[in-house]
């Protein structure tokens, strides 16, 4: 009798515990969510590229929530539309920071939009995570730059083109705005240092799609390689015209810094086969995490043919770096992120990445890919390990002589 | 020198391809159709979707796009434009609204993105149109290496222009259209069904835009804002050539295209564009009715 009563009590206790258990779990997730912003163009002509980046951020947040959130709290993404317009970007950044009181925003794609929101982040003490490879020449303490800078994309690329491909005469071509112009500036120094020469440095308007004359000039310039900093849908018209004027990639290869899996898929792989691009990440990378990343992303955007590319990968992994940073410093503010994220590493789909303690940019592995007939790249040259980001590479910054440090930009060193 | 002329010819053809439809809707009907560029874009999407759904080649997309774009144009005319004849500025605003609607409809996959349904080929991304191998690379004609795709653009433009000329000047429908251009009220008084002829004319002009879209799809990437920049070029040609004049439109596109090529070869593309705009401004100032206009009666 006694025993059975005890047994009954035990069973009752167990029962109530198991009833209570879901309640406790529910409570843990009912903890107030941490809000973060995702500020990308959902409409307008840049929506093509930026929507995917917003999806990359959202997928990372969903995965973080599925494994317990950040500091035991779920993460909620507040999505705002920058509408492909820098002015709208700055208004929406103010809205996220001032009205929603959000301290962390993942966002911006073009340099124009980043420059437009930068003063707001610096004045209000918030933190921007920016994933796109850019031209450098910036040293903000309120931005974590997870994409490549010129020394990642060009530092190994130009010497490799000269030495391994044996090219001596560069035709530099780009869209007419800051990124291609800065990239051309770095390239010229590297070309001369490598003992080669550049025969032209030409620009076309953003979005220009009439390449007949430019390609004719390339043909007649005696250049043996083209360095392309062309962006956006101009890329497609360029590669198509290149082939249509009968130039073979085997004779004059296009070596690009912007052309990614996205543009290759849109132009048709035939047009790009044999050309090169320099990026830290390619969809074709044979890494343990990459295959799963591609599969998960395709499922997430509900498109079995979706391609992945450098900026998307960076948009995704930067969220995990943020998580590690705030969990380390237990502080959701910009100062907490800044101290927590210095030296923080993450095993991204394309290999190990680390946020630099000096300049808040990202250590990435430079890789050169040659585009194949199936629209994927074959990595033909790569660093064995990630290298330090140098945002002022174009102005003579080296690893032993930093311009951008944790104290900010050393203007005395910067000679323009 | 001949290759520069050929580049100019291909530039002219692209201009004419877009401007032909506009010359009819703007020149003949007095409608500033801002949605013309979006009809071009819709034509490009017909090329994308017919490749995915019907697995047909690029060539099949040409007639399909003509029909689809003509149907789209007909709907726009019946729903919006037909209520606004004679109100130039109102047609501009209304068709601008229509252009935004079409663009967003493509971006949002006709609203299905809200339901999580994805239509391959639509959506905001850049789309791929497979160009037949014979149109890639160069063809040798009499010792000259010519860009095959540009040659094809020139050919299609010549055929469409000839067809348009035939309809306008050798059929009774064309005669009615020309009568309406000169004086709509008098034409109506003579027993021409102006409503019906206008709808058909608008549909035909839109159909031409659809074909232009297919040609552009093999030339540059296909995205929802493919057409918005092209409509400006189209209006430039029509204004320079003179309203309602087919020969004016042809001459103006030839003039602007060749000038563009010459200046671009001598200097660069950005300057060439500036020179073109300057030339158009000059024409508007000195000869507001266009280079090849006739007197309205």
Answer for the pair A311, A231: CB distance below 8 angstroms, yes or no: no
Task: Read off the DSSP letter of residue A278.
Answer: E
The CB-side HSE value for A109 (13 A sphere, CA atoms) comes to: 29
Question: Which residues, in sequence order, are CB contacts of A403 under 8 Å at separation 6+?
Answer: A139, A391, A392, A395, A397, A409, A410, A413, A414
Answer for the pair B166, B84: CB distance below 8 angstroms, yes or no: no
Strands laid side by side in the A345-348 sheet? A345-348, A351-355, A362-363
Question: Which residues, in sequence order, are CB contacts of A213 under 8 Å at separation 6+?
Answer: B7, B261, B264, B265, B269, B272
Query: A19: burial class by Cβ within 10 Å (0-12, 13-18, 19+)?
Result: exposed
Q: What pLDDT score does A4 carry? A: 52
Q: What pLDDT score does A412 carry? A: 86
CA B133 to chain A, closest CA, distance in angstroms equals 10
- Average pLDDT, integer, range A104-112: 94
**Cβ A214–B150 below 8 Å, yes or no?**
no
Lowest mean pLDDT among A100-114, A381-395, B28-42: B28-42
**Cβ A47–B107 below 8 Å, yes or no?**
yes
Of the candidates B125, B220, B270, which has its C-beta nearest A209's C-beta? B220
| β-bridge partners, A169 | A197
Q: What pLDDT score does A413 carry? A: 85
**Cβ A212–B150 below 8 Å, yes or no?**
yes
Q: What pLDDT score does B24 carry? A: 84
Of the candidates A214, A233, A246, which has its C-beta nearest B221's C-beta? A233
- Average pLDDT, integer, range A347-356: 96
Which region, left, alpha or beta, applies to residue A177 given φ > 0 means left and ψ of -120 to 50 means alpha? beta
pLDDT: which is higher, A3 or A385: A385
Residue A166 to residues A154, A187, A217: CA-CA distances in angstroms? 16, 16, 22
**Cβ A204–B269 below 8 Å, yes or no?**
yes
Of the candidates B3, B7, B270, which has its C-beta nearest A176's C-beta? B270
Instruction: Report residue B57 as tokens.
Output: 């080649």
Q: Does position B216 have pLDDT exceeding 70, yes or no?
A: yes
What distance, in Å, lies between the first and last C-alpha atoms of chain B?
44
Domains A5-148+286-364 and A151-279 share a fold: yes
Reported as a single tens digit per residue, the pLDDT across B149-177 is 999 999 999 999 999 999 989 999 999 98
- Provide ipTM, 2 decimals: 0.89
3-state percent helix, strand, coil for chain B, nearest multiple of 5: 75, 5, 25
Instruction: Report residue A32 as tokens.
Output: 């107030």
Answer for the pair A225, B215: CB distance below 8 angstroms, yes or no: no
**Cβ A202–B264 below 8 Å, yes or no?**
no
Reported as a single tens digit per residue, the pLDDT across B77-117 is 999 999 998 888 899 999 999 999 999 899 888 888 778 77
**Cβ A236–B220 below 8 Å, yes or no?**
yes
Q: What pLDDT score does B21 carry? A: 87
Q: Does position A9 have pLDDT exceeding 80, yes or no?
A: no
Reported as a single tens digit per residue, the pLDDT across A109-165 is 999 899 999 999 999 999 999 999 999 999 999 999 999 999 999 999 999 999 999
Q: Does position A362 have pLDDT exceeding 60, yes or no?
A: yes
Reported as a single tens digit per residue, the pLDDT across B255-280 is 999 999 999 999 988 899 999 999 99
CA A193 to chain B, closest CA, distance in angstroms equals 29
CA A175 to chain B, closest CA, distance in angstroms equals 11
Contacts of A307 in chain B (CB under 8 A): none
Reported as a single tens digit per residue, the pLDDT across B113-152 is 778 777 877 877 788 888 998 999 888 887 788 899 999 9
CA B192 to chain A, closest CA, distance in angstroms equals 43
Q: What pLDDT score does A131 carry? A: 97
For residue B117, what is the nearest residue in chain A, using CA coordinates? A302
CA B295 to chain A, closest CA, distance in angstroms equals 36
Domain ranges of chain A: 5-148+286-364, 151-279
Of the candidates B11, B223, B270, which has its C-beta nearest A48's C-beta? B223
Instruction: Report residue A412 as tokens.
Output: 């005395």
Q: Does position A325 have pLDDT exceeding 90, yes or no?
A: yes
**Cβ A237–B220 below 8 Å, yes or no?**
yes
Q: What pLDDT score does B207 carry? A: 95
Q: If contacts are CB pairs under 8 Å, which of residues 289-328 in chain A contact chain B?
A: 301-303, 305
Residue among B7, B107, B124 with most chain A CBs within 10 A, to mutate:
B124
Q: What pLDDT score does B296 carry? A: 52
Q: What pLDDT score does B291 carry? A: 85
Contacts of B150 in chain A (CB under 8 A): 212, 244
Task: Read off the DSSP letter of residue B28.
Answer: I
- Average pLDDT, integer, range B220-249: 87
Give me the architecture of the A5-148+286-364 domain, per CATH. Answer: 3-Layer(aba) Sandwich (3.40)
Of the candidates B107, B221, B269, which has its C-beta nearest A213's C-beta? B269
Task: Read off the DSSP letter of residue A398.
Answer: B
Domain A151-279: which CATH number of 3.40.50.2300, 3.40.50.720, 3.40.50.620, 3.40.50.300: 3.40.50.2300
Q: How far apart are CA B241 and CA B256, in angstroms?
A: 10
Number of Cβ pairs closer than 8 Å across A and B?
Answer: 105
Q: What pLDDT score does A14 carry? A: 46
CA B146 to chain A, closest CA, distance in angstroms equals 7
Q: What pLDDT score does A416 carry? A: 67
Q: What pLDDT score does A365 carry? A: 96
pLDDT band at A6 (very low <50, low <70, confident <90, very high): low
Q: How far apart are CA B107 and CA A51, in angstroms?
A: 11
Q: What pLDDT score does A26 carry? A: 44
Q: How much is the mean pLDDT over chain B?
A: 89
Which residue, A191, A168, A180, A90, is CA-closest to A133?
A180
**Cβ A263–B126 below 8 Å, yes or no?**
yes
Q: Does position A64 have pLDDT exceeding 50, yes or no?
A: yes
Residue A371 to residues A46, A166, A363, B167: CA-CA distances in angstroms? 25, 19, 25, 48
Q: How far apart are CA B259 and CA B5, in angstroms?
A: 10
Spell out which chain B residues touch chain A, with contact meaning CB-CB distance below 8 angstroms. Answer: 3-4, 7, 10-11, 14, 104, 107, 116, 118, 120, 124-131, 136-138, 145, 147-150, 218-223, 225, 229, 261, 264-265, 268-270, 272-273
Residue among B1, B8, B51, B126 with most chain A CBs within 10 A, to mutate:
B126
Answer for the pair A367, A278: CB distance below 8 angstroms, yes or no: yes
Contacts of A301 in chain B (CB under 8 A): 118
For residue B149, what is the nearest residue in chain A, using CA coordinates? A244
CA A230 to chain B, closest CA, distance in angstroms equals 14
Q: How far apart are CA B240 and CA A89, in angstroms?
A: 38
Which residue, A193, A211, A262, is CA-closest to A46?
A262
Q: Does position A82 have pLDDT exceeding 70, yes or no?
A: yes
Q: Does position A3 have pLDDT exceeding 60, yes or no?
A: no
Task: Read off the DSSP letter of residue A195.
Answer: T
Contacts of B48 in chain A (CB under 8 A): none
Residue A285 to residues A14, A232, A312, A316, A384: CA-CA distances in angstroms? 50, 23, 14, 16, 14
Which string of b and e fits B170-189 if b means at least 16 CB within 10 Å? eeeebebbebbbeebeebee
Question: Which residues, in sequence order, are CB contacts of A363 under 8 Å at separation 6+?
Answer: A352, A353, A354, A355, A356, A386, A387, A388, A389
- Average pLDDT, integer, range B215-230: 87
Answer for the pair A321, A357: CB distance below 8 angstroms, yes or no: no
Instruction: Report residue A66 as tokens.
Output: 């599925």
Query: A62: burial class by Cβ within 10 Å (0-12, 13-18, 19+)?
Result: middle
Of the candidates B125, B137, B138, which has its C-beta nearest A48's C-beta? B125
For residue A205, what is the nearest residue in chain B, using CA coordinates? B270
Q: Does position A102 have pLDDT exceeding 80, yes or no?
A: yes
**Cβ B229–A245 below 8 Å, yes or no?**
no
Other C-beta atoms lying within 10 Å of the C-beta of residue A10? 10
Task: Read off the DSSP letter of residue A286.
Answer: -
CA A231 to chain B, closest CA, distance in angstroms equals 13
Angle between helices A212-220 and A234-244 in degrees, nearest 10: 50
Strand ranges, E, within A41-99: 75-81
Question: Which residues, in sequence order, are CB contacts of A93 under 8 Å at separation 6+?
Answer: A37, A39, A105, A107, A117, A120, A121
């Amino acid at each position: 009798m006694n025993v059975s009563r005890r047994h009954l009590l035990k069973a009752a206790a167990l029962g109530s515990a198991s009833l209570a258990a879901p309640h406790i779990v529910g409570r843990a997730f009912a903890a107030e969510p941490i809000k973060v912003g995702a500020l990308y163009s959902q409409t307008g002509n840049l929506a093509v590229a930026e929507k995917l980046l917003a999806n990359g951020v959202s997928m990372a947040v969903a995965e973080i929530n599925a494994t317990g959130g950040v500091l035991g709290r779920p993460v909620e993404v507040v999505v705002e539309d920058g509408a492909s317009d820098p002015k709208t970007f700055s208004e929406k950044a103010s809205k996220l920071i001032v009205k929603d009181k959000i301290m962390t925003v993942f966002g911006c794609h073009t340099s124009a939009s980043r420059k437009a929101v930068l003063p707001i982040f610096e004045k209000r003490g918030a933190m921007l995570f920016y994933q796109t490879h850019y031209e450098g020449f910036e040293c903000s303490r309120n931005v974590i730059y997870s994409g490549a800078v010129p020394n990642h994309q060009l530092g190994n690329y130009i010497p490799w083109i000269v030495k391994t491909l044996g090219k001596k005469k560069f035709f530099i071509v780009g869209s007419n705005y800051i990124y291609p112009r800065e990239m051309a500036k770095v390239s010229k120094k590297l070309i001369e240092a490598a003992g080669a020469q550049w025969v032209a440095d030409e620009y076309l308007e953003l979005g220009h799609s009439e390449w007949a004359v430019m390609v004719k000039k390339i043909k007649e310039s005696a250049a043996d390689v083209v360095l392309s900093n062309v962006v956006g849908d101009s890329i497609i018209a360029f590669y198509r015209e290149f082939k249509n004027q009968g130039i073979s990639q085997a004779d004059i290869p296009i070596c690009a810094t912007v052309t990614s899996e996205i543009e290759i898929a849109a132009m048709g792989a035939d047009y790009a086969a044999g050309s090169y691009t320099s990026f830290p990440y390619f969809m074709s990378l044979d890494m343990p995490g990459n295959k799963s990343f591609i599969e998960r992303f395709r499922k997430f955007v509900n498109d079995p043919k979706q391609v992945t590319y450098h900026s998307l990968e960076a948009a995704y992994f930067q969220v995990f770096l943020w998580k590690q940073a705030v969990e380390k410093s237990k502080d959701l503010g910009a100062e907490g992120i800044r101290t927590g994220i210095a030296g923080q590493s993450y095993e991204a789909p394309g290999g190990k990445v680390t946020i630099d303690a000096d300049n808040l940019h990202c250590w990435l592995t430079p890789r050169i890919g040659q585009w194949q007939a199936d629209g994927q790249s074959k990595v033909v040259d790569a660093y064995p390990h990630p290298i330090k980001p140098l945002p002022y590479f174009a102005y003579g910054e080296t690893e032993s002589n930093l311009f951008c440090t944790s104290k900010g930009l050393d203007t005395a060193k910067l000679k323009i | 020198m001949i290759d520069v002329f050929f580049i100019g010819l291909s530039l002219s053809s692209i201009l004419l391809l877009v401007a032909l439809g506009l010359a009819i809707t703007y020149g003949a009907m007095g409608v500033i159709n801002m949605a013309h560029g979006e009809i071009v874009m819709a034509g490009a999407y017909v090329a994308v979707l017919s490749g995915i759904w019907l697995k047909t080649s690029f060539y099949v997309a040409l007639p399909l796009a003509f029909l689809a774009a003509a149907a789209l144009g007909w709907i726009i005319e019946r729903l919006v434009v037909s209520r606004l004849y004679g109100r130039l500025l109102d047609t501009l605003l209304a068709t601008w609204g229509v252009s935004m609607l079409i663009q967003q409809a493509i971006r949002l996959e006709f609203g299905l993105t809200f339901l999580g349904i994805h239509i391959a080929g639509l959506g905001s991304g850049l789309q791929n149109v497979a160009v037949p191998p014979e149109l890639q690379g160069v063809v040798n004609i009499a010792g000259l290496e010519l860009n095959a795709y540009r040659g094809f653009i020139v050919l299609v433009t010549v055929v469409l222009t000839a067809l348009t000329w035939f309809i306008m000047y050798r059929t009774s429908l064309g005669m009615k259209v020309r009568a309406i251009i000169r004086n709509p009220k008098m034409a109506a008084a003579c027993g021409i069904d102006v409503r019906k002829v206008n709808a058909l004319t608008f549909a035909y002009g839109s159909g031409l835009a659809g074909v232009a879209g297919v040609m552009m799809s093999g030339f540059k990437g296909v995205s929802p804002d493919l057409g918005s920049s092209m409509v400006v070029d189209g209006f430039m040609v029509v204004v320079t050539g003179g309203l309602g004049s087919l020969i004016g439109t042809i001459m103006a596109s030839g003039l602007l295209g060749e000038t563009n090529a010459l200046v671009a070869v001598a200097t660069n593309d950005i300057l060439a564009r500036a020179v073109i705009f300057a030339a158009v401004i000059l024409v508007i100032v000195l000869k507001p009715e266009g280079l090849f206009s006739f007197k309205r009666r």
